[in-house]
Structure 1
Amino acid sequence: MKLGVYNAILHDRPLPEALKVIADLGLTGIELNTGGFLPAVHVPNIEKILESDAERDAFLAQFEGTGVAIAGLNCNGNPLHPNRQIGDKHAEDIRRSIRLAARLGQTRVVTMSGLPGGEPGAIRPNWVVNAWNSAALDQLDYQFDVAAEFWREIDELAREHGVKIALELHPQNIAFNPASFRELIERAGTSNIGVELDASHLFWQQMDPVAVVRDLGEWVFHAAAKDVRINPNAAVQGVLDNSFRRLREDEPRTNLGGDEWANEWPKNSAWDFVALGKGHDTAFWTEFLRALHEVDPQMLVNIEHEDTELGAVEGLEVAAQVLLDADAALASSLATN
């Protein structure tokens, strides 16, 4: 397997320093953010790279001799947002990331399927959590039609550039599990759109990431290694707990586009994102890698660190050790079979 890090957690330092952190962890890949919810901190000159071979070559030269190579691009956002100030920007970031991937010799762009409003004229996305009533199915029909039109266009662009799009199965998106992913690609008639298998968002939905990999098979194009710990309060509030706090303008907060901001995580949370091993042990991650290996022995698997209990490098060290141990265990078992 090819193991690396999604670079968002290292945006506080220059690219050469980020590459050294990753190399020191014993990992060999960096997944670069190129727009969407987050700015392209480590690729600030995208337009120049798209236009100039010299700019492209100079950017790629930064990786030479580091032991770390680019392991896909990431452009997570909501390209279907009904507020076009947000949706249009995120959609164009995806198009630009596809063109950039081709320029950099990459074949994977990670993003999200997005979420439209629930009806024409809506100004906010509307996620159907449980479609038990007929009106909810009417809404989903409308949303899938909107999504299919967009992703049909993106699929064509991806094919033209030799790129595959890996959609993160993320709640609050039209495609958040295998059934909704299949519904999307069947309606859109796409060929180059698959899945980024991020175990974390499956864990808190009470899904089994290994079973999901085997269910989707060849549609798994890319993977993220991020863990989740289910906390005792889940027994009382459930995993859909909405006890978030709106952050004030004078508090540090992350902009998600337009005038949308990430909220403060619930204090007594039902679940948390944690470093690998704090939610599921090495034995689980060995089987996760095994399932991915069955799909593609060269699968790109990148750590995403969002454990607020650990610092950036500290959290990556914990996660990398578990992932490397799991990879070694997988290699050993394959060698003896």
Structure 2
Amino acid sequence: MEENIMQLAICTDVFADLSYTEMLDKVKSLGIDAVEMTAGGWGARKHCNTAELLANPDKLAQFKAELDNRGMRISALNTSCNPLWPSQTGKDYEKSMYDCAVLAGKLGVKKIVAMAGLPAGNETDTTPNWITSTVSWPDFMKPAYEYQWKVTIEFWQKFAKHCKKCGVEQIAIEEFPGTMVWSAETMLKLRGATDPMIGINLDPSHMIALGADPIVAARSLKGCIFHVHGKDVRIERGLADVNGILEPKEVTVPAQRVWNYVAVGCGKDLQWWKEFFSVLSMMGYQGDVSLEMEDLTMSVEAGVKTSIEALNQTISK
């Protein structure tokens, strides 16, 4: 039986206050050799200036050399955003995604991480509309949902072709609330309507926050799990029982929210994480587990340290 091996990586926006080389040294000191950097979309893009690297071959070569000199690699380039927003900002996001794919090709990076996006409800609307309840009523919901899927599928069919031309082999779409792909079912719907190069960036925190079980979901996603985020969430005791799990409050007021992103192990216990990675391994996943630290209940240093300790004890190495 072939051994499935996972390796720890980290999303570098958590170190956005550090320069590129300072960030690499910091990550290396943590015992991590792989980085996921934002190169498009709404991320900080502090460590990967896509426009600059595409315009200057010397800077691109130096960028690569800094990784090579440390024995490090790029796990994925992240370009998460909403390119389906009918606005100038949406157009800017779309361009940044296309540029990210070009950069990935020049860097030899075979995988990009993205989000599906969220269109408006019809051709004349300008406000993205996430439909979270039944399309049975009001009666305008069903045509809006059908229109949104039409727009989404057309975008990803075109973008997949562009990525192939650039040498990108996998597009890992994060199942994110507020986008068209927020669950295993919606992921499989998009994949089935577009291209097998589109799979999931399985972020268990989002599934848990919406009441799903990532361990069960992983089984249904066998063969299309392209990337995994090591990220935890906690449903806050008592609060969710009163108001349910949909939570529009700012993430900066964690004490008032029914759920919060937390360091790994501060939501689900380590036994849960061991089972999660064990099932991923059984489903054939051999890839990076990219730590995404967004815990606002503790310092960055504490959150990173806590998460790394938990992941090192649980991932299937």
TM normalised by structure 1 equals 0.86
Q: Give 1:47 shift.
A: 3.0
Q: Hey, what's the Cα distance between the residues in 1 that align with 2:68 and 2:91?
A: 35
Distance 1:107-1:57 versus aligned 2 partners, 3 A rule: same
Q: Hey, what's the Cα distance between the residues in 1 that align with 2:236 and 2:285?
A: 34
Of the three residues 186, 189, 198, the one matched with 1:183 is 189
Of the three residues 62, 70, 78, the one matched with 2:74 is 70
The amino acid of 2:53's aligned partner reads I
SS state of the match for residue 99, structure 1? helix
What is the aligned partner in structure 2 of residue 7 from structure 1?
12
SS state of the match for residue 68, structure 2? coil
Q: Give 1:92 shift.
A: 1.0
Equivalent positions of 1:111-260 (< 5 A) are 111-133=114-136, 134-163=139-168, 164-187=170-193, 189-232=194-237, 233-242=239-248, 244=249
Could you tell me which runs of 5 or more consecutive residues in structure 1 were left unpaired when the two chains were aligned: 246-262, 332-337
SS state of the match for residue 10, structure 2? strand
Does the 8 Å CA contact 1:275/1:307 hold for their aligned counterparts? yes
Structure 1 residues 192-201 or 50-59, which shifts more?
50-59
What is the aligned partner in structure 1 of residue 94 from structure 2?
91
The amino acid of 1:178's aligned partner reads A
Q: Aligned residue pairs: how many?
A: 308
Distance 1:299-1:211 versus aligned 2 partners, 3 A rule: same
Task: State yes or no: 1:320 paired with 2:304.
Answer: no
Of the three residues 92, 106, 128, the one matched with 2:109 is 106
The amino acid of 1:307's aligned partner reads D
Structure 1 residues 283-292 or 272-281, which shifts more?
283-292
Does the 8 Å CA contact 2:13/2:45 hold for their aligned counterparts? no
The amino acid of 1:313's aligned partner reads E
What is the aligned partner in structure 2 of residue 285 from structure 1?
273
Does the 8 Å CA contact 2:135/2:145 hold for their aligned counterparts? no
Does the 8 Å CA contact 1:21/1:313 hold for their aligned counterparts? no
SS state of the match for residue 218, structure 1? coil
C-alpha distance after superposition, 1:27-70 (max 9, x if no partner): 221101112112311012x2343355433221011113424321
What is the aligned partner in structure 1 of residue 35 from structure 2?
30
Q: CA RMSD in A?
A: 1.7
Q: Hey, what's the Cα distance between the residues in 2 that align with 1:324 and 1:266?
A: 27
C-alpha distance after superposition, 1:127-176 (max 9, x if no partner): 10012415322211000001111111001011222311111101110111
Q: Hey, what's the Cα distance between the residues in 2 that align with 1:295 and 1:48?
A: 39
The amino acid of 1:123's aligned partner reads T
Q: Hey, what's the Cα distance between the residues in 1 that align with 2:55 and 2:282?
A: 39
TM normalised by structure 2 equals 0.92
What is the aligned partner in structure 2 of residue 259 from structure 1?
none
What is the aligned partner in structure 2 of residue 251 from structure 1?
none
Does the 8 Å CA contact 1:223/1:302 hold for their aligned counterparts? yes
Tell me the percent identity: 29
The amino acid of 1:55's aligned partner reads K
Q: Hey, what's the Cα distance between the residues in 1 that align with 2:178 and 2:297?
A: 25
Distance 1:127-1:216 versus aligned 2 partners, 3 A rule: same
Structure 1 residues 65-74 or 97-106, which shifts more?
65-74
Q: Hey, what's the Cα distance between the residues in 2 that align with 1:123 and 1:283?
A: 45
Does the 8 Å CA contact 1:22/1:68 hold for their aligned counterparts? no
